[in-house]
Chain A
Amino acid sequence: MQKFLGKHAICAGILALSLGGSVAGAGAKDIVWARYGDIDSLDPHRATSTLSLQVWSLMYDTLLAVDADGHPVPHVAKSWTSNDTGTEYTFSLNEGVTCHDGTPLDANDVKYTIDTAFDSEKPSLTKGSWGPISSAEVIDPLTVKLTLETPFVALIPFLADSFSSIICDSNEDAAGFGTDTAIGSGPWKLVSWTKGDKIVFEKNPEYKNFGKLAENPGAPYMDGLIITTVPEPQARFAALKTGEVHIAEPPFDDVAAIRESGDLQIMVAENTGQNVFWEFAVHRPPFNDKRARLAVAHATDAAAAINLIYGDLSIPENCPVSRGVFGNDQDFCAEYRPAYDPEKSKELLAELGYSESNPLETALLVWTGGNRQKLGEVFQAQLAEVGIKASIEIMDIGSLNARVRQENENTEGTTGSMDMMTWSWYDPDILYALWHTPGAYRGYTSPELDAILDETRVLTDPEARKAKVQEAFKYLLSNAIHVPLYTPGWEWVFAVRPEVKNFHVAPFVYPIFSDIKIED
């Protein structure tokens, strides 16, 4: 028996040791923000998730920033010029921006970032979004020139998004860049990243804000920022209540009660650019027929569905790119978007030869999380009302992307496939990626649409571009290729503890922590 006691003592010892090492402690002056998931990488070229982008926006700077309406404004670059053909952009940088390792941020860092994005061995995951950049040239330490093969007007809004985060060139020699270390020039400096658990930041005392949407012109007011991962919404809620966490996405169903009690503030991000929409596998029946797609569009009552799941936290969207993005115009889009009209839907289905005994059958693919599976369930019931038999399959966004492409490449069979796709982008150029030949998912394409989308990339006059972009909207909507449902759709609701003051969220769901002051 003594041996057993001994064994237990050893176990207990191991336990105590391992626990001692992992005690989480937030200092008094730290902001704690809990999210459902973790970042994929600290390297802005190695991931595309909103979770990652939000973090990069805190630790890196970008050449440009956006104003409250989502329009690009100067930031690290104090001004820029382009040649008449739109193939050369010259940026002059602000003086006094320093990287977290103390080196000044200059044109070389910008060049380094672009060169690594186009690295032939290991290009950035977002290489396509940088556009046709052929070279980045250092004119002098505070001037950098980008040369493009062809005009690309979406470059400017891209340089205002965290996808284009400037990576300091000192990362070249840093061991474990993206995994253990990352040197940026943003308001928050990385202390450590425990994968799956938390990212710890301290304030960057040297920080200078030129154009980001923070009132604070310099270093953050609080000493540190801890971003933790708490997947379970109710657990985040509990942590908010106890004060363990300051800011987190609450359980959607509890928002009304939270508002009523007034214990926590609820912040809903605006101008997120997030677009949730139906798209279809168009290279086989039934959705190769426009009428089948319209039948689905007419059968969906997005307003009723989101009201059931999100209450007033989200709103129906009429345009293929959401509020906050160039070209969005609710009235214009409402004219062309197939409206909720179940009778019309039934007529179309009957016309196609479907009936109760021979229903239109389709897979309905939905991205996990954010209660989207519940929303899918409501849509499934709405489709059933008109006699469409949809079977839900839930998967991660990565798998969803893969699956949608597979479904588009599959031309055999008669069971359809449709999906509740989600995209967030700062510019209507996303439509080019999605619907210009060959199409991100190999879905619908046509020469007419290609021609329209080609022009949206090169028209430098905003009014002319807007007209083209809206022409694309009209085409996509009236052919029920891209049927917008609602906006925003993910990571856009924040419950904030009352002692936390001045928390706000910039367009495209970038939360800002530099202005925060926590009262005692």
Chain B
Amino acid sequence: MSGSATSMPHRSSEPVQAKHGFWRRLVRTPNGFVGLLIVAVLIVCAFGADFLAPYNPTKMGSGPRFLPPGGTYLLGTDEFGRDMLSRILYGSRLTLLIGAVAVGISLTIGMLLGMVAAYCRGWIETVLMRSSDILFSFTETLIALSCVAVLGPSLQNAVLAVAIAGIPFYARTCYSASLVEVSKPYFEASIAAGAGPFRMVFHHLLPNVLPTMIVVATLGVSTAILAAAGLSFLGLGAQPPTPEWGYMLAGSRDYINRAPWLMTIPGVAIAITVLGFNLLGDGFRTALDPKERDR
């Protein structure tokens, strides 16, 4: 860990051990295993919706209206005779896309801000971190709601809103993780050895904060999915006939007495998906940081 080797030092601590046997450790934690399983199933559903779905998800009159689950229509049909299973399968594609895009945007921007703040220090750090502190205190719901208020209701805008709302959180987390790295001796040694800012941030800082950020981002996917589904539930996101789960849930209220499964099924789908990412994130954390295993 001394200044002797600028080639390797940043890989000398925990991340190296963490990388070793990471997946094995992940599946050994019960949380990680179940989470991985759920997410894997979701990914299969999302990619395979075209083959797996027995009917067109938006085609009315695929079957009779209000058919209870079981039989030919495994999850029943909705108020327009659309197949619920097909709608849920296509919905999983949307849901994963929403989670990935929203977190992708907020993670990228947030990490960049966090790393730059930690690397540059001084007034840049103060400005960036104070402003993300301020935004963070507004909570994601309020930021997302304000964004939708400006942009107008639509699924794209809802995703964008959730993405923007997530930035302060990732910026703060990445900033704290980066500070730890920046204060390590090898970091100053690298700068002394003449590494430029670009190289320092992307070759030294990034690989070291990435594991932490992956854990945070996995957990963040569940938050993003919940937030976007919440907006759609309020009518501020997905528009018909999109088989978005939050929107489906909102539309099911009218038929609760006749067809309660219309409310149960999308709700369960959202809950399982969110649970999957929460468990996976938990598993990642345990697998990356062996000390966490006891906690």
Residue contact B258 to A253, C-beta cutoff 8 Å: yes
Q: Are B254 and A374 in contact (CB under 8 A)?
A: yes
Distance to closest chain A CB from B180 (angstroms): 33
The reply to whether B79 and A393 form a contact with Cβ atoms under 8 Å apart is no
User: Which residues in A have their C-beta under 8 angstroms from that of B256?
Assistant: 234
- Kindly list chain A residues whose C-beta atoms are within 8 Å of the C-beta of B254: 233, 251-253, 371, 374
Q: How far is the CA of A355 from the CA of B94 in the complex (A)?
A: 28
Chain A residue contacts of B235, Cβ below 8 A: 368, 373, 394
Report which of B60, B239, B255 forms a contact with A393, defined as CB distance below 8 A: B239
Q: A374-B251, A378-B60, A381-B60 are in contact. Are A253 and B241 (CB under 8 A)?
A: no
- Cβ < 8 Å to A, chain B residues 47-82: 58-60, 79-80
Min distance, Cβ A234 to any Cβ of chain B, angstroms: 6
CB A183 to nearest CB in B, in angstroms, measures: 36
Q: Which of A234, A368, A394 contacts B253 (CB 8 A)?
A: A234
- Taking a contact as CB atoms closer than 8 A, the residue among A253, A373, A374 that contacts B257 in the complex is A253
Q: How many residues of B contact A (CB 8 A)?
A: 18
Q: A234 vs B60: C-alpha distance in the bound complex, in angstroms?
A: 25
- Interface SS, A side: helix
| A391 CA to B235 CA, complexed, in Å | 15
Tally the A-B contacts, defined by beta carbons under 8 Å: 54
Q: Which of B58, B153, B257 contacts A395 (CB 8 A)?
A: B153
> B207 at interface (Cβ–Cβ under 8 A)?
no
Contact indicator per residue, chain A 243-273, by CB within 8 Å of chain B (1) or not (0): 0000000011110010000000000000000
Interface string of A378-410 (1 = CB under 8 A from B): 101100000000011111000000000000000
CA distance A113 to B202 in the complex (A): 72
| Interface residues on chain A, size class | 20 to 34
Q: How far is the CA of A117 from the CA of B73 in the complex (A)?
A: 60
Query: Which of B80, B153, B239 is within 8 Å of A308, CB to CB?
Result: B80
Q: Which of A254, A377, A378, A394 counts the most B-chain CB atoms under 10 A from its CB?
A: A377
Q: Which residues of A contact B153 (CB under 8 A)?
A: 393-395
A253–B255 contact, CB under 8 A?
A: yes
A253–B263 Cα distance when bound, in Å, is: 15
A376 interface residue, CB < 8 Å from B? yes
Tell me whether B240 and A376 are in contact (CB under 8 A): yes
When C-beta atoms are compared, the residue in chain B nearest to A254 turns out to be B257
Known contacts A233-B253, A234-B256; A374 and B79 CB within 8 A of each other: yes
Cβ proximity bits B255-273 to A, threshold 8 Å, 1 near / 0 not:
1111000000000000000
Bound form: Cα–Cα A394–B239 in Å: 7
**A119, CB-defined interface residue at 8 Å:** no
Q: Let me know if A448 is at the binding interface, CB within 8 A.
A: no
Question: In the assembled complex, which residues on chain B have CB atoms less than 8 Å from the CB atom of A392?
Answer: 239-241
Taken together as a complex, chains A and B put the C-alpha atoms of A380 and B240 apart, in Å, by 9
Contacts of B80 in A (CB 8 A): 308, 377-378, 381
Q: Indicate which residue in B240, B253, B255, B257 contacts A377 across the interface (CB closer than 8 Å).
A: B240
A67 at interface by CB-CB < 8 Å: no
Question: Residues of A at under 8 Å CB distance from B?
Answer: 232-234, 251-254, 257, 308, 368, 371, 373-374, 376-378, 380-381, 391-395
In order of increasing CB-CB distance, the 8 nearest A-B pairs are A377-B240, A381-B60, A392-B240, A392-B239, A253-B254, A253-B255, A377-B241, A254-B257
Interface CB pairs A-B, < 8 A, 26: A233-B253, A234-B253, A234-B256, A234-B257, A251-B257, A252-B254, A253-B79, A253-B257, A253-B258, A257-B258, A308-B79, A373-B240, A373-B251, A374-B79, A376-B240, A377-B80, A377-B240, A380-B240, A392-B240, A392-B241, A393-B154, A393-B239, A394-B153, A394-B235, A394-B240, A395-B153
